[in-house]
Amino acid sequence: MGYIIENITVITWDDDRLKVLENATVETDGDRISRVGCGKNDAARRSGKIRIDGTGKALIPGLVNAHTHIPMTLLRSYADDLALHTWLFDHIFKIEDKLTDDDVYWGSQLGLMEMLAGGTTCFADMYYFVDRIAEAAAESGMRALLSRGLTNNEDKDDYSDDYRIKEAVETFRRWNGAENNRIRVAFAPHAIYTCAPKYIKAIRDTAEKLGAVIHVHVDETLKEHNNSLNQYGKTPTQHLYDLGLFDLPAIAAHCVHVTDTDMDLMMEKSVSFIHNPTSNLKLGSGIAPVPDALKKGINVALGTDGASSNNNLNMWEEINLAALIHKGARQDPLAVRAEEAFRMATANGARALGFNNTGQIREGFSADMVLIDLSKPHYLPEHNIVSNLAYSAQASDVETVFVDGRILYDKGEFKTLDREKILYNIKRVCERLFS
């Protein structure tokens, strides 16, 4: 089983080099891309593969949302326009205390539907009731790095009875590598202000034993940064580095207030820098030093963060903002180029999440791909397709989404998710939660 997409414009990466192929043919075989080339392949055409005419369309690698909390779709537009600490402690945590695993399951389904329709094929999540998120992700057919957000400010020498870590270990055993390795499980100390140092060390040691990667919030606000200096005499990044957390492969969300030295540490330990421009702007957290991180060679990827601090899971907005805000903030139109923003959302994201052989349209890679309809007025004329994608594209231009060689979304139709059922259940769970 496979597809042949003909007459297509392919925009992809050859490792770090941008590659644009006109009138190309892309073939898939099972979950893999088996051929990327020019000209027709008559043998393949006779093989019974399904042919798709790509005239007037672009094929790009699936977008990677490298930091989100999908069930937070349930909290969309609830408690907006507040400072991060007030928003989180006075509002979000109060509703989250009432969440059941059923709520989380349906909130996840809603988020998955939104992401798929916008061309996101892969995401990194941090939340709780992760088994239900994994169940939803598995049903959707999407690729995911899931984690149980771990919080405990109690200073102890032994955390072997910590129910959160126990849950995380169980989730890891149950789901890591499941669904043709589309689902993997990370360990997630939530942040330095919600985790005692020894707790972070305990999480780190558990993750190391299991061979898991780390997902953590780092230096999101100036308040977190200054509290860390007062409490530990060092920056959040230095604190986590000294605890050995970055000895494991890690994704660090936000990094808004990281210093030059912090970025050297991130580079030394190959920590991926996850830029969440919308969330940082909405919560008034600041603008992350992305141009400096890029200059240092740090792997920068993009995330939406949860829907309550964004308020959507639309990666096109993140690409657009990542390409724009640094130019404005630094009064430098070269600060982040369109191509760099596009790479953050594709190849860099796949690399950050550790899904090797995804994030590029390339022979032997996973067939995670998105067809974009270029016939819309905002794509014409086509002087520079990458500029058009970064500055002009809309999530609604996404026509077809493949993950692992399977079509999950096509022209408004979800192949694996039940739209009506999801909308009905969202209404039902929200009535209880917000009554």
Tell me the three state secondary structure of residue 374.
coil
Does residue number 305 form part of the binding site for Zn ion (CB under 5 A)? Answer: yes
Q: CB-wise, 141 or 189, nearer to Zn ion?
A: 189
Q: CB-wise, 279 or 366, nearer to Zn ion?
A: 279
CA atoms within 13 A on the CB side of 327: 12
Least Å distance between CB 200 and Zn ion? 17
Q: What is the DSSP letter of 393?
A: -
Least Å distance between CB 211 and Zn ion? 24
DSSP string, 31-74: TEEEEEEES--HHHHTTTPEEEE-TTEEEEEPEEEEEE-GGGGG
Binding range to Zn ion, per CB under 5 A, among 54-62, 290-298, 299-307, 363-371? 299-307
Q: CB-wise, 69 or 326, nearer to Zn ion?
A: 69
Does residue number 317 form part of the binding site for Zn ion (CB under 5 A)? Answer: no
Binding range to Zn ion, per CB under 5 A, among 96-104, 166-174, 236-244, 304-312? 304-312
Q: Which two tokens stand for residue 144?
A: 């995911």
- The DSSP H or E segment spanning 28 is strand 17-29
- Name which of 321, 320, 277, 275 is nearest 301 in CA terms: 275
Cβ–Cβ under 8 Å, residues 213 and 146: no
Q: CB-wise, 272 or 425, nearer to Zn ion?
A: 272
Binding range to Zn ion, per CB under 5 A, among 135-143, 265-273, 297-305, 319-327? 297-305
Site string for Zn ion, 247-286 (x = CB under 5 A): ----------------------------------------
Tell me the three state secondary structure of residue 287.
coil
- Angle in degrees, 0-180, between the axes of helices 419-433 and 101-117, rounded to the nearest 10: 130
Binding range to Zn ion, per CB under 5 A, among 26-34, 230-238, 301-309, 339-347? 301-309
Q: What is the DSSP letter of 235?
A: -
Least Å distance between CB 151 and Zn ion? 13
Q: CB-wise, 103 or 305, nearer to Zn ion?
A: 305
Q: CB-wise, 57 or 76, nearer to Zn ion?
A: 76
Q: CB-wise, 4 or 214, nearer to Zn ion?
A: 214
Least Å distance between CB 69 and Zn ion? 6
Binding range to Zn ion, per CB under 5 A, among 42-50, 97-105, 298-306, 320-328? 298-306
Does residue number 340 form part of the binding site for Zn ion (CB under 5 A)? Answer: no
Which residue number is nearest to Zn ion in terms of Cβ?
Answer: 305
DSSP string, 306-325: -GGGTS---HHHHHHHHHHH
Q: CB-wise, 228 or 285, nearer to Zn ion?
A: 285
Least Å distance between CB 67 and Zn ion? 6
- Name which of 115, 105, 183 is nearest 144 in CA terms: 183
Tell me the three state secondary structure of residue 367.
coil
Length of the chain: 435
Strand order in the sheet with 300-302: 63-68, 120-125, 143-150, 183-189, 214-218, 250-254, 272-275, 300-302
Binding site for Zn ion (CB under 5 A): 305
